[in-house]
Each structure stands twice: as C-alpha cells, then as structure tokens.
Amino acid sequence: MGDLSNKPGRLQRAPENFLTEEQVKAVGAGRRDFMRKSFLAASAAMMAPVAARAVEGDPEILNLPPWSTTLGLPVATNPYGQPSKYESQLLRRESPGLTRVGGASVSFAPLQGLFGIITPSGLHFERHHQGWHDVDPARHRLMINGSDPAFLKKPKVYTMDQLMRLPSVSRIHFIECGANTGLEWGNVAVPTVQYTHGMLSCSEFTGVPLKLLLEDCGVDYKKARYVLAEGADGSSMTRTIPMEMVENGEVLVAYGMNGEMLRPENGYPLRLVVPGVQGVSWVKWLRRIEVGDKPYATKDEAVHYIDLMPDGLHRQYTSVQECKSVITTPSGGQRLLEQGFYNVSGLAWSGRGKVTRVDVSFDGGINWKTARIEGPVQNKALTRFNVDWVWDGKPAILQSRAMDETGYVQPSYGQLRAVRGTKSIYHNNAIQSWKIVESGEVSNVQVL
Ligand code: MTE
C-alpha cells in the first residue's frame, strides 16, 4: 500500500490511488473463502474523540503558504472548469479483469470518492456495446412509428430543434447496468467498490416525456402496449419497454444531464431514460421508437440481460432493478488510519420507488443499526445514508441492507442464491460485505 501517512484525508476517499499492482492483478482472478455468519463482533467501543492529525507547531498552519502571498490565476483560465490537479486519480476506470472487444467495454464510476447522490458527468460510468460516437446534433433525428398503422396514426420524424421546443421536465434518477456486481455471482474477489458496484450513476436528466411524443403522433394505447427503442450506434441496441412505464409519464426522451447537454459517451444528443429499469433499456443515441402489440424479443433481450436460473432455464424481461445498497466509505482497498470515530457512508436505491430505510451492521449481519438517510429522498434515485461508528481496532465486517417503499428488503447472498443459484451474470442485489482487519485494511468478502 505504500506510505499512507503523508496523505491525510485521502485514505477513505480514493483507494484506487493506492491500489497495489498485486491488487490490480487480483481483479477477476482471485477466489475467496466464504465467511460464515458465526463471525463474532468486536465489542462496541465507547465514543472516542476524532484524533487531531496536525501536531502542535505544524508549519502548515504557522507559515503562510504561497497561495496566501502571491497573485492567483485570473477568471476563465479554464473556460470549462476542471477538477483540482490533486484529484487527478479519481477517474472512471476499466476493470483489468474484463476484456475490451473493439469499442465494446465498461468503465466504472469511482463511487468511493463521490459525495451526495449526483455523479459528476465526467465520472458517469460508461457501457458501450460497440463504442461511442460524438453525434452531430444537426444531423440527428428521432423517428416515431408503429409496427401497424392502427397503433399510431401520425408517424413523425423530429429534429433536435423540434424536440427541444416541446415542454420538458428535469428529474433525478439512478441508472444501473443489469450486470453491475455481476462478477460477485461467481465469488470473484473484486477488490474495490468501483469495480463491484461502479456500473451505477445518478444524474438530473432533462427531456420530453415519451408519452407526450407518442400522443403527438396519435398513439392508440388500447392497441399499442409495447415500445421498441433503437440506438443509432453500430450495435443497433434495441429494447422493448412495456407501455405502462410510458403511460405514467416517467420515461423521458432526454437531451440534458446535470444541467448541460448529455455527454457523448452517455448518448449525446438524445437518450431514453427509463427510471428504475436496468441500464440497457436506456438506449443511447436514440434514433427510433416503434410501438407494437407484443414484446419484440430482440437480440439484446433474448441473449443478453436474462437470468440463468438453477434449473437451467433463463428468466427474461426482469428489467426492474430491485432494492440494493452498498457502503462506499470505508470500502475495499481503503485502510482505516487508527481507532476512533468514522462516518460510515453509502448509497441505496430501488427501481420500484423510494428507499425507506437502511440498516448497517458492523459484525457481519448479527446486529443492525438504522442509518441516517439524507433527504429529500427521490423516486428511483440514489439515496445517501450515513451512520456513526467508533472502530475499536478489532476485526469487523461492515454491511448495509436497504428497504424500499414496497416493503422489499435487500437479500443476503444466502437468500439470493437460494432462488437464483450461482450461474447468473445479471441482477445481483445481495448485501455487500467489507471486512476490516486489525491493520485497518478493508477487503471484499462474502457473507452468506
Ligand atoms: N444504447 C446504445 N445505443 N448502445 C449501447 O451500447 N448500452 C446500454 C445502454 N444504452 C448501450 C445503450 C447499456 S448495457 C447500459 S448499462 C447503458 O446504456 C449505459 O449507459 P451509460 O454508458 O450512459 O452509463
């Protein structure tokens, strides 16, 4: 891990800065032993004051630094603002354990270094089936048609200018790839939360409700019960969306993300936003919407994003992302400096609505403490939780367990595997465990 003592304040936030070569190599390679529920907790410590790091006579406070005694840089030195050079290691990263095929790959968001619920646009995860394009908005079109003329009376082709004149809404939602946490099904020891859970981001999206566009084109809701969305990239990404999701006004044809136009990697200039549904349905570079009377069973829904069950059959169209949570600080690859107080922080979300409660365990699931939820809690958005913890220097296993407004409780690995087996890739929402040893090092373990 190298010398961490000269990096105060960084330890909990950016473990990737300190990931060793061996840890990087271990991604996708290692297997680990399952921990048993018999793990015994270290006894609860008394509340201790946070140890002051700066020693008396610290020159950093006694002497004026250069930035207090020289002229600063003028405004607009960076016309488009950039993060501090001291934050240059906080990056989305490709997992060394996954193979890139052409432009098709994933980059993971550095959840361990983020605060609140909004993912900065430049750190939003990426998943491309065939690489990305910076599409010319002047040449981009959205066509809306029906598979039968009776389903939609007036098929139309919209330009970006036409779309952006229509009434718009802005809403905060999470997007999670159905394959997020996928390597954990096979008990692969992925070292950090960036790689276990980083196919997850949350933004404020701006756009036109798809319902408004379909009605503009004269949809007949009685006949047209499904929507097919198609992307303009070489993967011809196509996904079926049930009409109920559109009729409630939640599905957006979005051009804005976090107050500016979408980033090219995230579908500029137009993408579908399907709140609560796995990322693959959020078709990027959206070029066509077709309405029909049955699911389309396209390649992206017949071969990919289906759940292999223990009996050898596949479950299809399990698109809604069930309630899930993860502790982001402290998390795998980080190291606690010393005993004492820590703010344990994480993210919870549910594709079925709002998160209502998050409980945290410090002893591998034996005892639970209800965390503070940061409001306002938004529908189908990431929700930040925090909980106070005094580490007594003894081994501990940290877990979080979220609940949503339907009453659903995030399952343990034992509960999830009892239904789903171990052969799946997609839709793993099990409770994540981080083990802390006496040295303060945090690693990824599984508790059944
Ligand atoms: N849309 C198109 N046209 N092409 C793609 O490859 N990838 C999908 C979806 N939409 C994809 C796409 C997948 S699998 C996911 S998880 C999300 O986009 C990822 O969105 P992001 O790259 O903005 O994070």
Residue 266 beta carbon below 6 angstroms from any ligand 1 atom: yes
pLDDT value of position 106: 93
- CA 252 – CA 166 distance, rounded (Å): 12
Residue 272 beta carbon below 6 angstroms from any ligand 1 atom: no
pLDDT value of position 69: 96
Tokens of 299: 């390649």
Cβ neighbours of 94 (radius 10 Å): 15
Number of H helices, E strands in the chain: 9, 23
- CA 195 – CA 108 distance, rounded (Å): 6
User: 142 alpha carbon to ligand 1 midpoint, in Å?
Assistant: 17
Name the residue ranges covered by the structural domains of the chain: 13-47, 128-315, 324-445
- CA 107 – CA 241 distance, rounded (Å): 25
- CA 266 – CA 252 distance, rounded (Å): 14
Residue 109 beta carbon below 6 angstroms from any ligand 1 atom: no
Residues sharing a CB contact under 8 Å with residue 63, sequence separation 6 or more, in sequence order: none
User: 392 alpha carbon to ligand 1 midpoint, in Å?
Assistant: 44
- CB hemisphere CA count around 373 (13 angstroms): 22
User: 101 alpha carbon to ligand 1 midpoint, in Å?
Assistant: 15
Residue 270 beta carbon below 6 angstroms from any ligand 1 atom: no
Give which of 347, 322, 325 is closest to 406, Cα–Cα.
322
pLDDT value of position 188: 72
Q: Where are the alpha helices (DSSP H) in 21-86?
A: 21-26, 59-62, 66-69
- CA 41 – CA 294 distance, rounded (Å): 53
Instruction: Return the best residue to mutate from 108, 123, 125, 128 for the ligand 1 pocket (most ligand atoms within 8 A of CB).
Output: 128
User: Which residues lie across from 443 on neighbouring strands?
Assistant: 435
Our CA angle for 214, 215, 216, nearest 5°, is 90
The residue nearest atom 11 of ligand 1, judged by CA position, is 128
Instruction: Return the best residue to mutate from 129, 134, 261, 286 for the ligand 1 pocket (most ligand atoms within 8 A of CB).
Output: 129
Strand pairing category for 355-361 and 369-370: antiparallel
- CA 84 – CA 88 distance, rounded (Å): 7
User: 70 alpha carbon to ligand 1 midpoint, in Å?
Assistant: 47
pLDDT value of position 290: 98
User: 131 alpha carbon to ligand 1 midpoint, in Å?
Assistant: 10
Residue 198 beta carbon below 6 angstroms from any ligand 1 atom: no
Residue 127 beta carbon below 6 angstroms from any ligand 1 atom: yes
- The CATH architecture of the domain made up of 128-315 is Alpha-Beta Complex (3.90)
Tokens of 328: 């982001």
* CATH for the stretch 324-445: 2.60.40.650
Cβ neighbours of 350 (radius 10 Å): 28
The residue nearest atom 21 of ligand 1, judged by CA position, is 126
Q: Which atom of ligand 1 is nearest to the CA of 106?
A: 22
Give the start-end residues of each E strand in 51-199: 105-107, 126-128, 141-146, 156-159, 169-176
- CA 59 – CA 8 distance, rounded (Å): 15
List phi, psi (to 5°) of 214.
-65, -40
Q: Which atom of ligand 1 is nearest to the CA of 304?
A: 14
Determine contact, residues 327/371, Cβ cutoff 8 Å.
no
Per-residue pLDDT of the chain (448 residues; tens, 9 = 90+): 334 333 333 444 444 444 555 655 554 443 333 343 333 333 333 333 444 556 788 999 999 999 999 999 999 999 999 999 888 888 999 876 677 777 788 999 999 999 999 999 999 999 999 999 999 999 999 999 999 999 999 999 999 999 999 999 999 999 999 999 998 887 776 889 999 999 999 999 999 999 999 999 999 999 999 999 999 999 989 999 999 999 999 999 999 999 999 999 999 999 999 999 999 999 999 999 999 999 999 988 888 899 999 999 998 888 999 999 999 999 998 889 889 999 999 999 999 999 999 999 999 999 999 999 999 999 999 999 999 999 999 999 999 999 999 999 999 999 999 999 988 899 999 999 999 999 999 999 999 8
Instruction: Return the best residue to mutate from 108, 127, 205, 257 for the ligand 1 pocket (most ligand atoms within 8 A of CB).
Output: 127
The residue nearest atom 23 of ligand 1, judged by CA position, is 266
User: 267 alpha carbon to ligand 1 midpoint, in Å?
Assistant: 8
Residue 124 beta carbon below 6 angstroms from any ligand 1 atom: yes
The residue nearest atom 4 of ligand 1, judged by CA position, is 237
pLDDT value of position 27: 45
pTM of structure: 0.91
User: 97 alpha carbon to ligand 1 midpoint, in Å?
Assistant: 20
Residue 285 beta carbon below 6 angstroms from any ligand 1 atom: yes
pLDDT value of position 58: 92
pLDDT value of position 8: 35
* DSSP summary character for residue 131: -
Residue 214 beta carbon below 6 angstroms from any ligand 1 atom: no
**Using CA atoms in the order 86, 88, 92, 94, what is the torsion angle rounded to 10 degrees?**
-130
- 363 by DSSP, 3-state: which? strand
